[in-house]
């Protein structure tokens, strides 16, 4: 887990994002830069930084090594087929762990006219993994891989969300494609399933509602 965290922070920093510098890690620890997260939030600056991260692209979707999403293992591999990657490496393992079946969910229908570019993602971008220093915004606790940048934006809408000024600034940098308002539910299903598997039945109703929403639109 700590080695994956170390590599994720290195990847964010190499791509131009501000993240704590990792110094060393072992089986039971990671040592990293201490940052004072007490500055006034600059949400447009965070949006610009995230857009810069997403401009780092690859020729395939995925990541070279497995990592973690919270306390759950996150399997990775490489694929040129984004819907297949998202099903095989993200949704299917979480659905199986939750003992839920969704083989009728034809997610490829969401991508008939939308072809995402493999962008470097933070992977676990909620408001608890963002901070602001005197030098600007910082992101941490990543679950990095190359995927659809919409997956990062979608997660920012979960668990309290980000202010509207963040989304307006991101749209000015990298406008989202039509259909995002539906696809974001697919991407957030992954995180809701993970929370169901980690924290219990309090998330089941939200998972079932999201599955129902997607089924209605993928008939």
Whose CA is closest to 121, among 187, 206, 35?
Answer: 187
Burial of 179 (0-12, 13-18, 19+ CB in 10 A): middle
d(CA 102, CA 96): 10
Residue 136: phi and psi, rounded to 5, are: 130, -170
d(CA 49, CA 156): 14
For the question of residue 124 being annotated catalytic, the response is: yes
Cα torsion 81, 94, 215, 187: sign: negative
d(CA 193, CA 69): 11
d(CA 117, CA 1): 28
Among 124, 141, 148, 152, the active-site one is: 124
Cite the active site residues.
124
């Amino acid at each position: 887990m700590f080695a994956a965290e170390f590599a994720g922070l290195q990847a964010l920093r190499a791509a131009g994002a501000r993240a704590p510098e990792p110094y060393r890690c072992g089986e039971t620890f990671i040592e990293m830069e201490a940052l004072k997260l007490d500055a006034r939030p600059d949400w447009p600056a965070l949006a610009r930084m995230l857009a810069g991260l997403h401009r780092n692209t690859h020729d395939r979707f995925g990541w070279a090594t497995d990592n973690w999403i919270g306390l759950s293992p996150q399997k990775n591999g490489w694929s040129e087929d984004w819907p297949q990657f998202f099903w095989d490496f993200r949704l299917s393992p979480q659905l199986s762990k939750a003992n839920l079946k969704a083989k009728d969910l034809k997610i490829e229908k969401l991508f008939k006219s939308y072809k995402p570019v493999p962008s470097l993602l933070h992977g676990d971008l909620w408001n608890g993994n963002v901070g602001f220093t005197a030098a600007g915004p910082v992101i941490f606790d990543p679950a990095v891989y190359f995927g659809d940048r919409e997956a990062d934006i979608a997660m920012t809408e979960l668990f309290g969300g980000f202010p509207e000024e963040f989304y307006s600034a991101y749209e000015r940098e990298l406008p989202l494609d039509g259909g995002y308002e539906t696809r974001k539910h697919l991407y957030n299903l992954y995180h809701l399933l993970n929370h169901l598997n980690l924290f219990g039945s309090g998330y089941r109703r939200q998972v079932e509602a999201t599955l129902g929403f997607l089924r209605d639109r993928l008939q």
